[in-house]
Amino acid sequence: MKLVGIGDLFIPKRFIKEGFQSLEALGVDVEVLDWELKDHTELQHVNLMVENGGSDAYDPPDYIMEAVRDADIIITQFCPINRKVIDQCPNLKVIGILRSGYENINTEYASSKGILVYNTPGRNADAVADFTVGLLIAECRNIARGHLGLKEGRWIREYPNTAQIPDLPGKTVGLVGLGEIGLKVARRLTGFDMKIIGYDPFASQVPDYVTLVELEDLMKQSDFVSLHVRLTPDTEGMIDDRLLALMKPSAYLINTSRSALVNEQALYRALKDRKLAGAALDVFDVEPPGIDYPLVTLDNITLTPHMAGGSIDAFYQSPKKLAPEIAKLWQKEDSRYLVNRNLFDQWLETSSFA
């Protein structure tokens, strides 16, 4: 049995090799190669192509197609595994993605071929949660603006939110989405003595320090709104003019999730017209946005270049998180990492995998 791991600029092949070495004891031949990209800008371009157009928007280069041709298991992080790749891999039984998002996999087509798809949920949850709290504080306390001022030789004492600079204790933070990242943010912010409310139609049980409310109530009550939901047709553009208008003029919006959750034009208008105190964003509809990008031109916003999940620990530990979940197949065990779980029982009956 052959596993082929496709490394990239964030998780080089040696970390995949190390992470999946444990499968060699099960008779798996672990081979790895790197997806050779010019730089991070090229990788970002491909990721945006895939995010906007699906996995079939980009075909991997020929050397990757050749390397995976006889693979039983393919491991990837960002390199797309689309219909073309799947069609040329007659032995393929499992696809593993070293992150929670799986937009770069044609999951529907893989499922139609009886191929199991695994992701790595929460692999960067700590990194994103830490960064979210950092952004929240940086924006409301003007840390980035003060830093930039000093670098430019200015000693700034007046900021756009000078009349609304808060202490965190007693303030209300509203978390839209209470998955692994949202709950980690909640746990961190309890350390600041904040009141935590949340909206998640799929959350039935939450910690006792989180109060579930309807989305409209969350927008009205929160001093900070932080987004932690997956982008789907139902959530695309969910934060629009109507919901933004419900927020307090002293409130802040934080987005370290997906840009398309927010109507950027609506947010631009709300910030420009001082309907909100500020916002902090790590994601944009166009990346990189450029200095003339409407949101970039505002003075009441903190911006970072899509880096919330980018800690070394998050990247390098991903293979070690995913490998034992795939190894459960040898024991005919299910896994919470399995994306197309509806196939599992049928797959066990028909596969000669283990």
Active site residues per annotation: 258, 287, 306
- Residue 318's nearest CA partner among 23, 2, 15 is 15
d(CA 325, CA 119): 10
Tokens of 153: 């030789």
Say if CB 136 and CB 224 are below 8 A apart: yes
- Which tokens go with 88? 């040329």
* Phi and psi at residue 226, to the nearest 5°: -125, 135
> 147: which residues sit within 8 A by CB, 6+ positions away?
none
* Burial bucket for residue 273 (CB in 10 Å: 0-12, 13-18, 19+): exposed
Q: Minimal CA–CA distance to 95: which of 346, 296, 348, 340?
A: 340
CA–CA distance, 137 with 293 (Å, rounded to integer): 24
